[in-house]
Structure 1
Amino acid sequence: MRVVAAMSGGVDSAVAAARMLDAGHDVVGVHLALSQSAATLRESARGCCTIEDAGDARRVADVLGIPFYVWDMAERFKRDVVDDFTREYAAGRTPNPCLRCNEKIKFAALLDKAVALGFDAVATGHYAQVVETADGRRELHRAVDAAKDQSYVLGVLTAEQLSRSFFPLGDTVKPRVREEAAERGFYVAKKPDSHDICFIQDGDTRGWLTRALGAAPGEIVDTDGTVVGSHEGAFAYTVGQRRGLGLSRPAADGEPRYVVEVRPEANQVVVGTADLLGVDAITGDHARWCGPAPEGVVRVGAQVRAHGEEYPATAWADGDTVEVRLERRIRGVAPGQSVVLYDGTRVVGSATISAARLERSA
């Protein structure tokens, strides 16, 4: 099988490419150039896609003896991921750019280009498993290494995309991956993992958004409308946030305050007590199914954060919309986040949260 190995320049994608080669596939390494102004050297472990990363990926390809190319997708990454991220925050929502990148870049733009060039599949260093059933269907499952599991950010993949995807690290824990990289003589064996939002290298999301959207001073209000503070842009806040509020007036009851609503039209941030954050019903749109869409009401596990807890729930689909009813309340669910549904370890699908509310009083 002819396979494109997506090589970020990190240890995971390096070992994934090596394992595909060991399995007998015809492998070509591809590094995606996603930054329109890639720095020569990375400033921290947060970023990726720098010139240095491309060089690291090339060195691994040389060790493996496979062809290596750099594909420039910076313009599409900016349009489909960075600009989408900015628009979502401006609209008072909290997006997950990793899901959008997997959907629009790695398993749309990259996979589509690979197939157009005559390749059969794409392999990445994601920690997830593809399991083939007795009838030949391919299912997406959680990784063996629960601490590194990335099935949540892959919940946007369709059955067709899964049929052309390989995740060779899904059955391995991260320490063993580093050991294997060292045994293979890869320079990147001890390279730090990139984390958080790759295009915000200093980790300051609020500062990045302020530079992108401009400062927009406004009010922070309590649920009764009382002004309790000020902000430089409502876009920098998310439902469930407690830190960094800078409230000028303490709560009369002495209880901590959290963001309970962001009102972009009024440029207001609303704060309230923790009990106002509890929800047990979620509506999602932009449904994506990793196999057949569920029929009727089904029991699932629902996860709303990349490394968050899975909650027992029921769900049903209505076209592009998904309704999820949680068996117990959870806090801090923000519009724009993704809810990913599981059946055991299998990923059923995902949706972008458009609303969350409390339906049961007890």
Structure 2
Amino acid sequence: MKINEIIREKRLAKGLTQEQAASRLGVSPPAVNKWEKGVTYPDITLLPALARLLDTDLNTLLSFQEELSDQEIGAFQNELLAAAETEGTQKAFALAMEKLREFPSCDTLVLSTALTLEGLICFYGKPDSDEAEDVLERLYVQAAGSADAPTANQAKVMLFSKYMGTQEYERAEKLLEELPEETANGKNRLQISLYTAQERWEEAAPLTQQKLMKDINGVQSSLLSLLDIDLKLGRIDEAKQVAAVLREMTGIFDLWDYCAYLGDFEIATAQKDAAAGMKILEKMLPAMLKKWEPYSSALYSRIPRKENGRNIGSLLMPRILEDLENPEAQDFDFLREVPGFTEFMKDMKEKLKK
């Protein structure tokens, strides 16, 4: 809020007329009227007395507010949208610049305004001025220097996209180096787009495969969570459909064979289906001991190899066997009653030693 608006609001809140305020301050009523219209401003020597008269302080009177709340920023973005809809993007840009002059150090306002203006250009076209892109870049540069890491990182991602669009790859790469590994937009994805634009195919390939593997693992994890939720809700048919997808994606994406059986085993355990559970277990545990070789797949062949020599399944197996045989693990009581269970456990322990 500007000083003229604050003076008027505070005066009315105190129930004073312009004449009464003028009388107490020793000025003419027209002077107070001009203050409230923003035509002129109070003399600096009058400010302390004016603040006392209005029951406020100088910081509030002069609107020395450096930050805006998220709600205030959101409300202003709505104002920009309304202005663009009715009067065009030129008006929205003018309002934005006026607001930013009022709050020049509010980085969240700077970033939000830049993002909103960029969106308005997409919907309503560029303003008449040719400086729109320069203005947006300047705002993003300011926000990129923010002490607030999320604000700075989001601004850097937007600048990265701009520099990619103008083929300023060195500037884009410099920004990429400043971003943390975990960013909202994925540093890996940005790096791939940079290498691709520069035709650095040998560098783009392993990063793309790493991203693919990470994304597939994420989907697999989400499917297992969904299956668990379906079982908790008693939606067995839906759980079976999810388990079928898990089986299929194991083959399609060259995943560890062991993963193909996880969904079905969860369903058998939930239903206490001893016959089905044992049948799955007889396939799942041997598959666990089979070393996964992702590098032999065209999907993962460029990923740098980690030669640790050991199969992760052989590391996990002892704990799984222990849980299956542990009487306190009541979830697996139904399996221990199956003929041949004990012999199967002994056989798996022997295979584990080899």
Fold shared per TM-score above 0.5: no
Structure with max Cα Rg: 2
Say which structure is richer in strand.
1
Q: Larger relative contact order (C-alpha < 8 A, sep ≥ 6)?
A: 1
TM-score bracket for the superposition, by shorter chain length: under 0.3
The two structures have a TM-score, normalised by structure 1, of 0.22
Say which structure is richer in helix.
2
The two structures have a TM-score, normalised by structure 2, of 0.23
